[in-house]
């Protein structure tokens, strides 16, 4: 292995310093000038409370266990001819950002689009206990969530759309079509069908001739 002459590392460092000294320095004037962040920046997690069903999926999948959810069940009165139903009512939804590692798993696994990324990052606190954001503060971050990107017309069509269109093109099965028709239509169709001819009774066999008595 070829050994470098002594002082070559120092000379290389001074060369880099001399090269950058002749360039104009660029300094971000923060906080007077806000930085322009990419639209998909991971700043803070926002909550859309109307979409949350308290399914606990985000809390179970969180690797840091920094999501806290409390809820209770509420009974919905039965409509006429129906039955009562129950739904989950969200009491508490909190995220401890002092533990969060911003992996985004909770946003990816949410089946009802209740969590979104916001590029806001100015929520530092002097007390670590204030890093736990309750649902009220998480809901306020929704105003800073950027709009989704415009649809690319040249992108391939989703497979779900193709499957839905394919199912619409299939002809309905006869028994399914008959089940979907109203009862009155079925009765009228049955009345219009001609009655099947009745089979005539089989002719009776003639009795065998009696032999004359001797």
Q: What share of the chain has pLDDT > 70, as a percent? A: 79
Q: Write down the pLDDT at residue 214.
A: 47
What is the pTM assigned to this prediction?
Answer: 0.61
Sign of CA dihedral 157, 162, 164, 168: positive
| 144: nearest Cα among 116, 124, 125 | 116
Q: Write down the pLDDT at residue 95.
A: 97
Which domains are present in the chain?
44-144 (3.30.70.3270)
Q: Is pLDDT above 80 for 203? A: no
Q: What is the mean pLDDT of residues 179-194?
A: 54
Q: Is pLDDT above 60 for 181? A: no
Extract the tokens encoding 139: 């809901």
Q: Write down the pLDDT at residue 204.
A: 52
Q: Is pLDDT above 70 for 186? A: no
pLDDT single digits (tens) 111-165: 999 999 999 999 999 999 999 999 999 999 999 999 887 877 888 888 888 888 8
Q: Is pLDDT above 70 for 180? A: no
Sign of CA dihedral 51, 56, 57, 58: positive
55-61 — which CB contacts under 8 Å span 24+ positions?
A: 55/88, 55/111, 55/112, 57/109, 57/110, 57/111, 58/105, 58/106, 58/107, 58/109, 58/110, 58/115, 59/106, 61/105, 61/106, 61/109
Q: What is the mean pLDDT of residues 95-109?
A: 96
How far is residue 57's CA from residue 107's CA, in Å, rounded to a whole number?
10
């Amino acid at each position: 292995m070829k050994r470098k002459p002594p002082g070559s590392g120092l000379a290389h460092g001074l060369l880099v310093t001399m090269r950058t000294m002749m360039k104009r320095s660029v300094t971000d004037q923060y906080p007077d000038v806000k930085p322009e962040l990419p639209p998909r920046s991971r700043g803070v997690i926002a909550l859309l409370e109307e979409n949350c069903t308290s399914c606990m999926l985000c809390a179970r999948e969180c690797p840091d266990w920094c999501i806290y959810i409390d809820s209770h069940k509420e009974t919905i009165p039965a409509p006429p001819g129906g039955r009562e139903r129950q739904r989950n009512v969200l009491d508490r939804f909190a995220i401890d950002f002092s533990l969060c590692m911003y992996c985004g798993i909770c946003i990816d696994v949410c089946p009802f689009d209740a969590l979104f990324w916001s590029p806001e990052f100015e929520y530092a606190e002097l007390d670590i206990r204030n890093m736990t954001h309750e649902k009220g503060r998480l809901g306020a971050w929704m105003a800073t969530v950027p709009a989704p990107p415009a649809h690319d017309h040249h992108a391939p069509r989703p497979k779900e759309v193709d499957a839905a269109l394919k199912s619409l093109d299939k002809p309905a099965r006869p028994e399914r079509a008959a089940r979907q028709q109203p009862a009155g239509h079925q009765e009228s169709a049955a009345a219009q069908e001609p009655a099947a001819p009745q089979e005539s009774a089989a002719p009776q066999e003639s009795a065998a001739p009696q032999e004359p008595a001797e």
